[in-house]
Structure 1
C-alpha cells in the first residue's frame, strides 16, 4: 500500500499464478474491491482516490482452480534494530543468530517468518521456497543499504518449510540458489535447501550441570575425552546400514561412555555438511546440526541427557575454511563476501576449500556468533577448534611466491590471530567453565596462555608432538627401542609450556596409518601387550586425555566413516581386555588426584628413572600437592620380565598396585606384585626408600602410596 500520486491510496501485488485478485478488509474480511491486472507478469493494482488513512488488508487470489486468502508481506515494516545492524557491521555482534536467518514472528496479529540475509553487493535478493513455487519474483527482500542487509516478513510460512535465497549480482546476473548462512536446520544431503525452524524453546533440565560448570577449575580436574563420529560409532545394518538417530545415540552411546568412565564426549563436526567423506570438516550449515541424525531439538535432547548423567559434551568447530559447493558461502552475492578475495589468503590448496576473510568485520560477527550459538543455544561445554595452524600462518602449505607477508613482513596471519583472541576472550567472559581447545600442530608460543599475557587465549592445546613421538616409539620393535627412549621422554621437556591434551584421535587411524593395535609390533600377544602398556603410559603422563572410538577395544581395521565400529571383536577376550583396561584407567585416573591436579605444573612430576635405555624402562612420580598421596608409575617397554627390580620412592610405607596393564583380566600374563609392595630402607634413584618389584613384560604399573603403618624392611 502506497500513497497515490494523485491523492488517496494504491495497493499493488505481484502474483504471477493468479487469474483474479480481490482486496479484503484485514479485520472484517469484507471485500473492498477487485484488483486490475496491469502487467502480464501478474502485477495487480487497486486505487482508492478518496481514502487517505492506511488500513490492514489481505488478498483473495484465484488461480489453478483454487482460491486462497493471502497476507501482503509488504504491508509489514522492517523489525530490524539499527543497533544490531551497527554491531554486525562493526564485527562485535556475538548473537547475530538471534535475528539473522529465518525466525518465527507474529506481526500485527499475523504469524509468519522473518528472513534476514547479508548480501551488500546484490542488486536483488528474494526468498524462494516450497511456499512460493521457488519463484523469485514473489518475495523480493527489502535492502538496508548502509548495512548491506536484506529482510522480509513472509506471513503463513510453516515450520520446516524449505527455502533458499535467489540473488542477482551487481551486474544483474542470476546466481545459483544459495542456502541460508544462518539456517538452523537444513535438508538431508545431498539435497541442499535450508529449512525454517520455528521452535526455539527447549525444556532443558541441566541447570545444576551448568552451575557446576560455571564454577570452573577444569584444568585441575580429570578430563578424559571419548572422540566420536556419530555416523560410524554404531549403525543399524539390518535396516540398510542406517545411522543411529540422536535419540538412539542418547540411549546407546551415553550409557556406554559412562560405563567406560570418560568425563567428556567430543563429537566430530555436526554442523551440516554436504559430503560424507569430509567427516564434517567442510561444513555448509555452520548453525545447523546435521539432519542425518535427527532434528535440532533431538540433538538438544542428546546433550540434555549427557548433562543429566554427568557427561560433558565438546564439539569440533571449523572456522578455518569452507567448501566451494555452489549453494554455500562462496561468492555469495557475486563477490568474495565471506572468503578473502586474494587467493593467496582465500583458497586452501590442500583441501580445495575457501578461507574466511578474517579482516572483514561482518565475517567476524558471523563466526563469533556461531561459536557463542553452540554454547548458548545447545549448552555445549566447549569447542575444539580445528586446524588452528592453517589459520595462524600465511604460508601454511604454500610454496615460495604463493603467499604474501603481513604488514610487518612476517608470515603470521595477524587478522586470524586477532579473531582467535577475540573468540576466546568473549566466550570465556560469557561462559566461564567451558573448554576452548586448539588443534595446533606447530610450536606457536602461548596457544593456551591468556590474551592479556600475549597468548591466543585457549584453555587447552592438543599435544601433537607427544602423539607423533610416542607412536613412533611404540611402532618400533622392542629390540630397537633402547636407541630411541628420548621419543618417550622428550614431551616432558615442554610439558609445562602449554595446558596440553594428549590426543590419540581419528587422524591417527585412517589413510594408511593403521589402527592403534595394528601399529604395534610383534605377534598378536605382543601387539595387545604393547597397546595396553602404551595406554597405561598415556593415562599416567601429565596432560588431559583423548581417545578416538574403537581404540578402547583394539579395533584391527582402520576407521571407516561408512560403517560401524567392529563391535563383534568384543566376543574375543583380548579385545574385551583392552576395553576393561581403558575403563579401569579412567576410574584410576579419576580416583587419584595426583594424576591430574598438577597437570600443567612441573611440581606435579618427577623422574625416577629417565635413562634406563638398555632395558627400555621409565619410572616417574606424579605429585598432587599437599595431603595428596604420590603415585609412582613404571613402564617396561620390552617383552622381558624383570624380577627383583629396584625403583626409588620418596616416602616409606606401602605402595598399592592400583593398576597393572599385564593383569589377567586385561588379557595379560598376570605377573605382578600381589597387589602391594612395602618399601625397603635402601636409597635408590636419589630417593630415600626403594621398592623391589616384579616388572611384567610390556606393561605399565601404577602404584599409590598408602601409609607407613606396615613399616619398612631392610
Structure 2
C-alpha cells in the first residue's frame, strides 16, 4: 500500500503511518467481505426492501431478523392484541422470520406490534425496520402503523444540486419552529419557516429530530425507530412535500443522522429486541454509553452494518435528503468515546483506542452516500480533530465532506464568560478561528442548538441578559444593549469570514432570540413556552431584533456572492493585540475589526495590495443598529508606504466595536 495522500500532505503524520494503514486495511478487508456476499455496498444497503412491512398485492409481507427468538406473533386489533396461531411468523434461514397478512385483515392506518418469544421470556416489540410509528395521545404508548397511501408522492426536484460554494446551513427543529406554544408540523414549517430561510439567504436546511424518538425533549438524539419519520410532526408525505418545496426554491435539506447510539427502550426501540442485549449492540459494559444512558452499536456485525447503511440509503432515496450531519462522531471514533480525553497531540489519535469497526462503518457510509448522490453533503460532528476525517477515501481519509468546527462556539462562550471585552486578545481570536487542516473543509459556527439549551445561554443572551426584556425597543437607550448588538454582529461576521467551507446558524439565533430552549417536561409543568421561536420579535419594526436579522441577511448575501466564494485562503494582515484591531484578507476582500470597547482610530494604517477599495458591509450601518459613523460611500485609495515604495496601505477610520468588509475595485482595462 502506498503512503496515503493525506499523510503525504502532513509530514507530522508520518510516525503514525502504520496505524493509518491498519485502519485503511481494516476498511478494505470488510468491504471485500461485503462484496463477496452482496455484490457491493449499494445492494447490501437494501435491507429496508427485504425487512419491514411491504405491499405484496393482496397481502402485506413482514420480515424480521431475530436470531434468538423462538416464536413471533403479529398482534393488533385484528387479534384483540393477543397471540393467535393465524398470525404467527414462519422461521426462515439466518435468524429471519416472515409472515404474510391479507389486506382484508391489515389495512392502512391499523396499529400493530410484534410479540416476540425467546428462551425464558417474551415481550412486545416494534419491527426493527418499521417506517411509521404513532403515539397514543392518552396512554402515550407507541405502536407501529400500516402506512400505505393510494397516491404515491410526486416529486418535482429532478436534477437538483446543493449550493456548496459556500455551504450556508440553517439548523432547524420542526417541532419548536412555531410561535404558538405547541408542537409544530412539517406543513407549518414549509408554510411559515421555509420562506424566512429563503429570504435570509441560506442555501441548506439541517433538520433535527426526524428519526422517531420516544422523548420529545431529547432533541431527537435518543432514536428508537431509525426508519420512521417522527409522527409528532406529521406524515411522511408532509415531510416529502417540505423537502420538495425546499428543492424547488434552490435549498438543500440534510438530516441530523444519529448512528452513534440508540435509546435503551425495549418496546419502542431495539433494546433486547430478541431477548439478547447483543443483537444490535455490544455485550456488557461496552454496549452501554457511560454519558448518554443509551446503547452502543456493534459496528463489527454485518447485520448491524446492513441496518445502518440501509438507513442512509432509505432516507436519501425515499425522502430525497441531500445528505447528513452525523451526530456524535467522536463517540464512535474511540473506545473511550472521547470522554474526559484531551487530544493534545497526534499520538492521542493513534494509541490503540481507535474503534476500527466504527471508523470502517463511517467510511462505508460516506462511500455509499456519495455513490447514491455524488453531490451529497456529509458532515462529521467531531470535537477530537482526527486527521483525515474530512478527507476523501481516495486520499486515505474517512470521506466526510466537512467537519464541524466545534471549538469555535466553546471559544466564544469562554471569552464572553471569563473576560471583559477590553481584554479580548485578537491574536488568539484569529488563531482559533483560522486554523484548519489542509484539505479538510469545516463548518464554522458561533453557536448552534447546544448553546441555546437550558443550562447554557446564546451569545446575545449572555451579552445583554435581563436588559433584553425591557430595553430592546427603539425608544430605549442602553449601553448594554448597544454593546450586545455590536458584539453579536462582530462575532458572527468574524466567524463566518474565517470559515473554511461553510457556516451554520441555529433557527432564531440570527436575530438574537431571547432566553433558552426548554422542552416540555415534568419540571416545567410540560410547558411549551420555551420550546418555540418568537418570530414576531424580529418582525416588530419597533424592536431592535430586526437590526440583527437585517445584518445577518446582508452578511449571508455577501458571503454567497463575494468573500466566501471559492474558499480562498485567509491571511492575517494586521493583528494588533494592543489596539485590539484585526485585519485579514481573502482574495480581493479585507476584513477589518476593532474590538476595543473605547478606542476609535483615525487614519489607521492597514497593509493592502495596490488599488482602490470600497466598503461592502459595515456593522455600523444604521440599518443594522449601528451609528452611521463609517462612511460607506467613500472610495479608498491605497497609498505607498513611507520608506518602502513596494508596499501599500489604506488609512482608515475604525470606530470602537465596529467591523467592516472592503473589496478591491478591479482596474478598468483599456483595450
TM-score for the superposition, normalised by structure 1? 0.78
1:464: how far off?
1.0
Match of 2:614 among 645, 656, 667: 656
Q: SS of 1:123's equivalent?
A: strand
5 Å-filtered alignment, 1:196-595, equals 196-199=146-149, 201-209=152-160, 212-213=161-162, 221-236=165-180, 241-327=181-267, 328-396=269-337, 410-475=352-417, 476-482=419-425, 485-496=427-438, 498-503=440-445, 504-520=447-463, 523-543=480-500, 544-561=502-519, 562=528, 563-570=531-538, 571=540, 572-592=542-562, 594-595=563-564
Q: Label 1:165 to 1:529 Cα distance change in 2 as closer, same or farther (>3 A).
A: same
CA contact (8 A) 1:232 1:560 kept: no
Q: Label 1:292 to 1:569 Cα distance change in 2 as closer, same or farther (>3 A).
A: same
- CA deviations 1:8-27 (Å, max 9, x no partner) are xxxxxxxxxxxxxxxxxxxx
Partner of 2:583: 619
Partner of 1:596: 565
1:613: how far off?
0.1
CA contact (8 A) 2:256 2:324 kept: yes
1:534: how far off?
1.0
Question: 1:174, 1:88 → 2: CA distance?
Answer: 36
Q: Label 1:675 to 1:354 Cα distance change in 2 as closer, same or farther (>3 A).
A: same
Q: Label 1:127 to 1:686 Cα distance change in 2 as closer, same or farther (>3 A).
A: farther
Partner of 1:4: none
CA contact (8 A) 1:88 1:96 kept: no
Question: 2:51, 2:202 → 1: CA distance?
Answer: 37
CA contact (8 A) 1:226 1:549 kept: yes
Question: 1:415, 1:649 → 2: CA distance?
Answer: 50
In structure 1, stretches of 5+ residues that fail to align are 1-82, 401-407, 624-629
Question: 1:493, 1:303 → 2: CA distance?
Answer: 34
1:552: how far off?
0.7
5 Å-filtered alignment, 1:94-173, equals 94-106=45-57, 111-137=58-84, 138-144=86-92, 146-156=93-103, 157-169=106-118, 171-173=119-121
Partner of 2:122: 174
In structure 2, stretches of 5+ residues that fail to align are 1-33, 342-349, 465-478, 520-527
Question: 2:490, 2:40 → 1: CA distance?
Answer: 54
Query: Aligned pairs, how many?
Result: 590
CA contact (8 A) 1:425 1:457 kept: yes
Larger Rg belongs to: 1
1:337: how far off?
4.1
Q: SS of 1:280's equivalent?
A: coil
Partner of 1:187: 134
CA contact (8 A) 2:609 2:638 kept: no
1:399: how far off?
8.2
1:463: how far off?
0.7
Q: SS of 1:420's equivalent?
A: helix
Q: Label 1:323 to 1:469 Cα distance change in 2 as closer, same or farther (>3 A).
A: same
Q: Label 1:398 to 1:516 Cα distance change in 2 as closer, same or farther (>3 A).
A: closer
Question: 1:415, 1:243 → 2: CA distance?
Answer: 38
Partner of 1:606: 571
Relative contact order (alpha carbons < 8 A, sep ≥ 6): 1 or 2 greater? Answer: 2
Q: What's the C-alpha RMSD, in Å, of the aligned pairs?
A: 2.6
1:194: how far off?
0.9
Which structure shows the bigger proportion of residues in helix conformation?
Answer: 2
Question: 2:307, 2:290 → 1: CA distance?
Answer: 24
Q: SS of 2:394's equivalent?
A: helix
- CA deviations 1:353-412 (Å, max 9, x no partner) are 001111111011000000111111100011000000001110126689xxxxxxx97111
TM-score for the superposition, normalised by structure 2? 0.83
CA contact (8 A) 2:433 2:495 kept: no
